[in-house]
Amino acid sequence: MKPHVAILPSPGMGHIIPFFELAKRLVTHHGFHVSLLVITTGASAAQTQLLHSSMLPDGLSIVDLPPVDVSGLVNDDMGLVTRLCLIARESIKSLPSLLIDIPRLTALVVDPFCSDAFNVADELGIPKYSFFTASAALLAFLLHLPTLDREVEGEYVDLPEPVQVPGCKPIPIHDLLDQVRNRKIEEYRWLLQHARRLPMAQGILVNTCEDLEPVSLRALGELQQIPTPPVYPVGPLIIEEDSNKPSEIECLTWLDMQPPDSVLFVSFGSGGTLSAEQLTELAWGLELSQQRFIWVARKPAVDAKASGAFFNVGGEHNNPREYLPDGFLKRTHGVGLVVPSWAPQVEVLSHASTGGFLSHCGWNSTLESIVHGVPIVAWPLYAEQRTNATMLVEDVGVAVRAEREPEKGVVGREEIERVVRLVMDGEEGKAMRSRVKELQKSAVESLNEGGSSYNSLSQVAKEWKSRV
């Protein structure tokens, strides 16, 4: 009988996708049966489509957790992390009965936002692991956060120097996570609670590879202040292909007609939204740049929430004519293509005509861009995206950052024109493209048999199999 592992992501495409890919690799490369436990409450249309319209390899089961009524607990004004954690906490209450029915379970792997499941694993005597779907740099920060919480008085944003995580590059104050910029808010308390539980895992898998984050991974192996469990870099685990819709086929057909490396792909991920003012500036900046583009456009956020589409991606009504500048679509016809709401990102990034990616720098999108060798215009919105952007620009050398105007809080059209031209048509862009191609090769090789990430996951798999 094959060894059996259960894995539990939190809601959101940025978490679902790497867990789904981890499950597939455990089944196809390491001989496991995997039950992917899915929190259905608050699930987006895109999540449902991904998990229930994909061909599953033999040995992978999708197990939906029963929906729970959280109407009295969550609301649209609530912070993203708080809402995620409350949904996860309530959904996990059904976990014991589900796990008891899974025979010979050798491990439970959970998302950090689902760390309440650790208690269930302990009660049932199941070894517990965490899969960290963001960067090793962020993992190091969160492991160090309880120490910061004890040792620092006042707010982190008031510190005179960047925040120092042992062994890592200091984090500039302006790059700190939104959730730690005010220690009095509920978001901070939730993050701290889950950070404190990370060391309780018997191992932490992380979606990165050695060549991408050598310094942070080395630091994780040398943390002395806390009993850090073994850390296993197993990435980059990215979605292999998106399921097509008619609008997606159109954009790929359009790409087929463009010269190599000539198209800028503009997308802010599964949850990112811009204000009406920022959408207007972006439209004008793209037009002024005179570069070819595909823009995945989403209607502006009414409440200015940068993560406004997180819970309804793939299901929202969207007509770009209602919010883009008058005449924009007509003036850019043939040069640019606007796609409402969603596009097959992996297929676009892997296309020979795509030469740049204007991205929010979510970790999934970052890894997809690197794996397909595409340089980045970094435009972070929320979560850890500012830290990712800084790393891509300063440490990895595959991105240029679009800077906001301090007085307006938006990226102006002239700045957009500048960074787009730089990546698509400048000498700096050529250097970034060369660097990302090198990183692409090493990232892909790390997942192949004998590569560093393959071997790392093999080490975990061997440990799990020894318990059968």
Mean pLDDT of 359-372: 97
pLDDT at 247 over 70: no
Statement to judge: residues 408 and 288 lie in one domain: yes
Q: To the nearest whole percent, how much of the chain has pLDDT over 90?
A: 81
Q: Write down the mean pLDDT value for the chain.
A: 93
Statement to judge: residues 63 and 196 lie in one domain: yes
| Residues in CB range of 380: below 8 A, 6 or more apart | 360, 361, 386, 388, 389
- Does residue 15 carry a catalytic annotation? yes
pLDDT at 227: 76
What distance in Å separates the CA atoms of residue 119 and residue 123, rounded to the nearest whole number? Answer: 6
pLDDT at 189: 98
pLDDT at 395 over 90: yes
What is the pTM for the complete model shown?
Answer: 0.94
201 domain residue, yes or no: yes
Statement to judge: residues 438 and 458 lie in one domain: no
> ∠ CA 313-315-319 to the nearest 5 degrees?
95
pLDDT at 398 over 50: yes
Domain count, the chain: 2
Domain of residue 416: give its range: 246-443
Give the model confidence (pLDDT) of 12-26 as tens digits.
889 999 999 999 999
70 domain residue, yes or no: yes
Statement to judge: residues 273 and 127 lie in one domain: no
Q: Which range, 94-103, 120-129, 224-233, has the best average confidence (pLDDT)? A: 120-129
Check which CATH number belongs to the domain holding 285 and give it: 3.40.50.2000
Secondary structure tally for the chain: helices H, strands E: 17, 13
Confidence of residue 314 (pLDDT cuts 50, 70, 90): low
Statement to judge: residues 317 and 412 lie in one domain: yes
The residue ranking higher by pLDDT, 47 or 131, is 131
pLDDT at 262: 98
Q: To the nearest whole percent, how much of the chain has pLDDT over 70?
A: 94
Statement to judge: residues 158 and 254 lie in one domain: no
Catalytic position from the list 4, 30, 111, 116: 111
pLDDT at 50: 87
241 domain residue, yes or no: no
Let me know: does 385 contact 362? Beta carbons within 8 Å.
Answer: yes
Give the model confidence (pLDDT) of 127-155 as tens digits.
999 999 999 999 999 999 999 999 999 99
Confidence of residue 225 (pLDDT cuts 50, 70, 90): low
Q: Which residues of 288-301 are buried (b: 16+ CB within 10 A; e: fewer)?
A: ebebbbbbbbbbbb
